[in-house]
């Protein structure tokens, strides 16, 4: 193929773009991220796409791409923004970036858990505001983490990495999964049904993928099973939680606090959520380290180069 064209939908680290240049690929990076209609227009004129979570590759996008595009390489582990059924039918390969963001996301999960438990944003704001009047016995009381029970929903790479960190806090770790996980058992973690985990955990951390089965996995009924005074951490996907139900339970302190890196309707964060003082809010930065994002861009570029060179993708999803 002469002069294959690659659409890079949004800025990525130069570590990825640098691989495309020696491969003599003509890449196009729009001045601003394309909206959905613009994305549909662009994909029809490219042989490959390097996309991101904010890009919606639905059936209409896949149909437009099918006349020319051979691969969609997403700079993410999750592929819930891509219609995989349509991609398979169109013969378009889809790849992702598994494994590389495990440790960064596990680190961020712990940062969020500790910030939520110890009310770090509130305390930091008090210190900055000039309102702090000195040490007080009853000031900024948070929750203990050491020795408490951590429930992990989804025991894949990231969930296991979070559990591994929990051993340093002498936590009792519970997890849910379709089957027993030897790596979790080696850490002393116990597998149990979701209902039991929710009732017995002081902290619940979500690490399952977003699928039809896990959408609103934590609906109002599930949230009501959580131990009074417990806290919820979500660095997986926003729609796993019924956000409206959770806001109501946080408002009434039925759930003591929550830490979010993801939201049900990103990038929109409900005003009702931002108004609460018992939540910690982050802008989806789970994998946002220089090393991790560089490698994600490289992996996407490597798969594009492989497919456009007539080889199988290195990290196929479909």
Residues with active-site annotation: 237, 266, 284
Q: Which residues face 201 on adjacent strands? A: none
What would the DSSP string read from start to end of 13-76? -HHHHHHHTTTT-EEE--SS---HHHHHHHHTT-SEEEE-TTS-B-HHHHHHHTTT--EEEESS
User: CA torsion, points 41, 46, 50, 54, in degrees to nearest 10?
Assistant: 10
Cβ 259 vs Cβ 285: under 8 Å = no
Percent of the chain that is helix, strand, coil (3-state, to 5): 40, 15, 45
The conformation of residue 210, written as its DSSP 8-state character, comes to P
Q: Tell me the pairing of strands 93-95 and 172-176.
A: unpaired
Rounded Cα distance between 83 and 88, Å, is: 9
Token pair in block for residue 123: 């305390």
Euclidean distance between the first and the last CA atom of the chain, given in angstroms as a whole number = 22
Q: Cis omega before residue 217 (within 30°)?
A: no
């Amino acid at each position: 193929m002469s002069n294959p064209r690659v659409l890079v939908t949004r800025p990525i680290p130069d570590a990825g773009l640098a691989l495309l240049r020696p491969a003599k690929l003509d890449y196009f990076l729009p001045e601003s991220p394309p909206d959905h209609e613009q994305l549909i227009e662009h994909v029809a004129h490219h042989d490959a796409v390097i996309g991101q979570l904010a890009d919606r590759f639905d059936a209409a996008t896949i149909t437009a791409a099918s006349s020319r595009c051979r691969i969609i390489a997403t700079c993410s582990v999750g592929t819930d923004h891509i219609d995989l059924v349509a991609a398979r039918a169109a013969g378009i390969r889809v790849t992702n970036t598994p494994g590389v963001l495990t440790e960064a996301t596990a680190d961020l999960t712990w940062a969020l858990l500790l910030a939520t438990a110890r009310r770090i944003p509130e305390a930091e704001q008090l210190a900055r505001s000039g309102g702090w009047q000195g040490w007080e016995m009853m000031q900024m009381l948070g929750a203990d983490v050491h020795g408490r029970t951590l429930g992990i929903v989804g025991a894949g790479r990231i969930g296991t990495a979070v559990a591994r960190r929990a051993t340093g806090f002498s936590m009792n770790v519970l997890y849910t999964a379709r089957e027993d996980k030897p790596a979790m058992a080696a850490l002393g973690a116990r597998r149990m049904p979701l209902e039991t985990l929710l009732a017995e955990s002081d902290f619940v951390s979500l690490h399952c993928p977003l699928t039809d089965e896990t959408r609103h996995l934590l609906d109002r009924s599930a949230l009501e099973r959580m131990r009074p005074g417990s806290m919820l951490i979500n660095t997986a996907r926003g729609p796993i939680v019924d956000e409206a139900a959770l806001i109501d339970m946080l408002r009434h302190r039925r759930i003591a606090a929550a830490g979010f890196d993801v939201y049900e309707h990103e990038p929109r964060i409900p005003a009702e959520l931002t108004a609460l003082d018992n939540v910690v809010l982050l802008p989806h930065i789970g994998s946002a380290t220089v090393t991790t994002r560089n490698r994600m861009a490289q992996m996407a570029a490597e798969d594009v180069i492989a497919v456009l060179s007539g080889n199988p993708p290195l990290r196929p999803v479909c």
